[in-house]
Structure 1
Amino acid sequence: MASRSRTALPQVLSLSLSLVVLLVAAPALAAAAGFYERFDVVGSDHVRVSNDDGKTQQVALTLDRASGSGFNSKDTYLFGEFSVEMKLVGGNSAGTVTSFYLSSGEGDGHDEIDIEFMGNLSGDPYVMNTNVWANGDGKKEHQFYLWFDPTADFHTYKIIWNPKNIIFQVDDVPVRRFKKYDDLAYPSSRPMRLHATLWDGSYWATRQGDVQIDWSGAPFVVSYRDYATNACVNNNPAGGWPSSWCPEGTASWIDMELDAAGLGTVAWAERNHMSYNYCADGWRFPQGFPAECYRN
């Protein structure tokens, strides 16, 4: 669902949006590198970089009804720990989608790990959508209403991706685990780039597309800061673990699995804040749920 929306990002750029302010901290792997050394930008004429000292970059991406923008890492990664602080669009954010995700590219067999935020009418809670695509197989969404106002201050969102599982965290609280099973598709061989975007998702994001963006509220602003990654770089198009270069500190996440306490917070999030679970959507899967639904 979300991936199809981004398949035509250059076309999305011609649709809409307003203003994104990105505060990005340099990753440990390239602490001295400038923003343009580490990232490619979509819509370069809408980008302004300041304080590009290799430690803390402030990047303003201008987005309006005629054009949107985003950025993605030059490096590709095969497993890693990725985090960013974000402050989401305030007020009436209906129709907007803010993303922080990994993708191996587009196409029928791509892999992807998503965190996306679907805006809503003023006073209504934001929806955080998490999804996993493996070998082109998606439709694995868990969605949550956040238990705080994500527009009032910065909060940390993290993806931990290793050969055993994918863990989604909010302010260091695990809210979802997607486990690897040897006989089921799992993103484990295709290197992925990191992406961040803000775009017009009016046709699906808010109440299944019933609520469109109110452009009288433009410009919209999302802030990103303190981006950090501890990940294995793999710029070999063929992928494969032997082609990876892993930095010091890899041991802290490469074998990480949730303990009883972590699984407890996942259960808490599911019980108190989950708004959608693909493993409970019988209308979407009339022939039976995906195999992992019977094992988790």
Structure 2
Amino acid sequence: MARRSMALLLAVGVVALLQAASVASESTWLDDKFNTHGDVRADYDKSGRLVTSLVLDRHSGSSLISKQKYLFGKFSIEAKLVPGNSAGTVSCFYLTSGPGNGTDHDEIDMEFMGNTTGDPVVLNTNVWASGDGKKEHQFDLWFDPAADFHKYTIIWNPNNIIFQVDDVTVRAFKKYDDLPYPDSRPMEVHATFWDGSFWATRNGAVTIDWTKAPFVTSYRAYSEHACVAGDGKKDCSGGAWMDRVPDDDDRVTIAWAKRNCMSYNYCADGWRFPKGFPGECKRN
């Protein structure tokens, strides 16, 4: 009996140590992975997970920018957006090769466009390759993203880019050899919160109500499985994400999102492309 009790105590101790190590590891992702700008606050939830809040007020927004650049990877974060009237605000989780929109610029975006109270929050997904953008798919989120944390994921590999919400694929952007695709420029990971009054809500018709400031959007549980650019020690051929392509389940959920949630598709915007749609539109 004594041996059994001792074994049980040891097992409980090992589990506790593993849990503590997990919490400690997760609690360092902000300092380990990102530089911060603006009013960025850190706290812990009841389970010990780090919650990082970005603040937007009249003076400035705030951001997280990764300390390293990556060439391909799977990037996830859980976000809890601004409650109530968030019109004009934009919360983002995205990858970028750097500032500017020139021919050397690549970017992969998940942007959450603020709403007036009661309206759906719009998720704007976009891809830029060699300065070629304007490839937005927008979705009305089918839940309240301010009521709780939800997971948002970008999978980026040499074959396609996959956008997921709570592990549900809502969009895939395929590479075609004769069309621009972001596959050569390393990119940083950004999480930002800024004033997008000129664009975010009803095409800029509704701007930020600064009497409600400061606004707060919160992030937790950041994870990455990625190739660090220039890191000769990392095998960039490893990881299921590197070979990930849409499967039958993905195609079903993409069709569901397009049918039930899509509010804008650049491949259907003839006003924007009077001379013809981008090349990938007719192939998808």
State the TM-score bracket (shorter-chain normalisation).
Answer: 0.7 to 0.9
2:265 matched to 1:272? no
Q: SS of the residue aligned with 2:272?
A: coil
Task: Determine the structure 2 residue equivalent to 1:295.
Answer: 283
Letter in 1 for 2:164: Q
CA 1:272–1:58 in 2, change beyond 3 Å: closer, same or farther? closer
Runs of at least 5 residues in structure 1 that lack an aligned partner in the other structure: 1-25, 237-242
Which structure 2 residues correspond to residues 1-296 of structure 1 after superposition, within 5 A?
Answer: 35-43=30-38, 46-49=39-42, 56-107=49-100, 108=102, 109-235=104-230, 245-246=234-235, 250-296=238-284
Report the CA distance between 1:103 and its aligned residue. Answer: 0.3
1:117-164 deviation line (CA, Å, top 9, x unaligned) = 001110000100000000110000000001111111111110000111
TM-score of the aligned structures, taking structure 1 as reference length: 0.81
**In the TM superposition, what is the alpha-carbon distance from 1:217 to its structure 2 partner?**
1.6
Secondary structure at 2:192 match in 1: strand
CA contact (8 A) 2:65 2:189 kept: yes
Q: 1:251: how far off?
A: 2.4
Q: In the alignment, is the contact (CA less than 8 A) between 1:231 and 1:246 conserved in 2?
A: no
* Preserved CA contact (<8 Å) 2:55 2:216: no
Shift of 1:71: 1.0
Contact map agreement 2:127 2:133 (CA 8 A) in 1? yes
Corresponding letter in the other structure for 1:114: D
Letter matched to residue 198 of structure 2: Y
The Cα of 1:235 is off from its aligned counterpart by 4.1
Distance (whole Å) between structure 1 residues aligned to residue 29 and residue 282 of structure 2: 46
Q: Secondary structure at the match of 1:266?
A: helix
Give the count of matched residue pairs.
257
Is residue 233–residue 244 contact of structure 1 (8 Å, CA) maintained in 2? Answer: no
CA distance in 2, matches of 1:227, 1:126: 22
CA contact (8 A) 1:234 1:245 kept: no
Q: CA deviation at 1:101?
A: 0.2
Offset of 1:32 from its aligned partner? 8.8
Return the offset for 1:88: 0.9
Corresponding letter in the other structure for 1:202: S
Look up the SS of the partner of 2:158 in the other structure: coil
Using the size of structure 2 for normalisation, the TM-score is 0.84
- Which digits, 9 at most, give the CA deviation of each residue in 1:249-278, with x for residues without a partner? 942110011112211110111011100000
CA distance in 2, matches of 1:205, 1:122: 14
Aligned in 2, Cα 1:172/1:60: closer, same or farther, shift over 3 Å?
Answer: closer
- Bigger Rg, which one: 2
Deviation at 1:50, TM superposition (A): 5.1
The aligned counterpart of 2:12 is none
**For the aligned residues, what is the CA RMSD?**
2.3
Q: Give 1:19's aligned residue.
A: none
DSSP 3-state at the match of 1:208: helix
